[in-house]
Amino acid sequence: MTDQASDLQEAGGQPESQDNETAATEPGVPEAAEKSGVSGKEVVLARDVSKVYGSGHAATTALRDASVHLHEGEFMALLGPSGSGKTTLLSILGALLTPTSGEVTVSGTDITELTSKEQSRFRANRIGFVFQNFNLVPFLTATENMLIAAQFASVPKRQAQDRADRLLEELGLSELRNQIPSQLSGGERQRVAIGRALMNDPDAILVDEPTANLDTKLGTAVVELLAREIKGRGKAGIMVTHDVRMVEFTDRTVEILDGVVCC
């Protein structure tokens, strides 16, 4: 396990830097440089977002007037107990759910008005997801798992292959490119999942409980890697977690309780 943890530390493949500003201008990370041309640009903006399930007496409010905003290169933790509404908020920000009311824009696009087809396109092109159980396609190799994300976004094959090669190298996965998930360790799988999330150079990276199925050491390593990638590449990152130990790698923490965002 120690191996995997240190493995992950190195896996970033980028100059060590916890500092957002410095990382953003590192020459070794091209898209980070592009992205942070306008420093501090707002990427995710949600205002007074509510989600009500059902209607009448049976109506349950999962989220009440939630507002969050995130800048480029900012990594935010969304903390809350089970049923607090953090999953609902993450789903809304990721164009997986349409809010009952409120306004959500991601890089200037109002995502509350999208049809399900447009949502699907939007997710493919602009959002990178990292799921709880890595959720790689079990019969595809590491490379292919990354390439399907490009396929869904209709990225030309050649270009997608180049991008995947670069990411594999940066994530320290070059040697493992032709391995299928069952041949990879938990940490390696999560690195492939991070690679898949970065594949289409999204505006925002949404992370759902990345440490739920990892031990503390590996969990810490994964979150560290995520923080480095998000900051280094100038993405807006949101991580849902109920593990307070992970908070130290994020820029700020938003707590949510009974559907209400506090602090």
With CB under 8 A as the contact rule, the residue among 71, 121, 166, 217 that binds other proteins is 121
Any contact of residue 117 with other proteins (CB under 8 A)? yes
| Interface of this chain with other proteins, residues 189 to 228, rule: CB under 8 A | 196, 206, 208-209, 212-213
With CB under 8 A as the contact rule, the residue among 132, 161, 174, 179 that binds other proteins is 132
Considering only the stretches 30-38, 39-47, 128-136, 246-254, report the one whose residues sit in contact with other proteins under the rule CB under 8 A: 128-136
Coil, strand, or helix at residue 65? strand
**Single-letter code of the amino acid located at 253:** T
With CB under 8 A as the contact rule, the residue among 123, 163, 191, 228 that binds other proteins is 123
Q: Are 142 and 168 in contact (CB under 8 A)?
A: yes
Strand partners, 206: 129, 238
Q: Are 207 and 49 in contact (CB under 8 A)?
A: no
Q: Are 77 and 241 in contact (CB under 8 A)?
A: yes
The smaller minimum CB distance to other proteins, of residues 98 and 185, is found at 98
How is residue 194 written in tokens? Answer: 């991070």
Instruction: Please state the closest distance from residue 90 (CB atom) to other proteins, in A.
Output: 6
| Dihedral sign for Cα atoms in the order 190, 192, 193, 195 | positive
**Single-letter code of the amino acid located at 114:** L
> What is the rounded distance in angstroms from the CA atom of residue 193 to the CA atom of residue 205?
11
> What is the rounded distance in angstroms from the CA atom of residue 19 to the CA atom of residue 27?
15
The smaller minimum CB distance to other proteins, of residues 20 and 91, is found at 91
Any contact of residue 100 with other proteins (CB under 8 A)? no
> What is the rounded distance in angstroms from the CA atom of residue 21 to the CA atom of residue 19?
6
HSE-up (13 A, CA, CB side) for residue 37: 4
Any contact of residue 107 with other proteins (CB under 8 A)? no
With CB under 8 A as the contact rule, the residue among 1, 52, 114, 153 that binds other proteins is 153
With CB under 8 A as the contact rule, the residue among 149, 171, 198, 246 that binds other proteins is 149
By the criterion CB under 8 A, which residues form the site for other proteins?
82-83, 86-87, 90-91, 94, 96-97, 117, 120-121, 123-125, 129, 131-133, 135, 137-140, 144, 148-149, 151-153, 180, 196, 206, 208-209, 212-213, 240
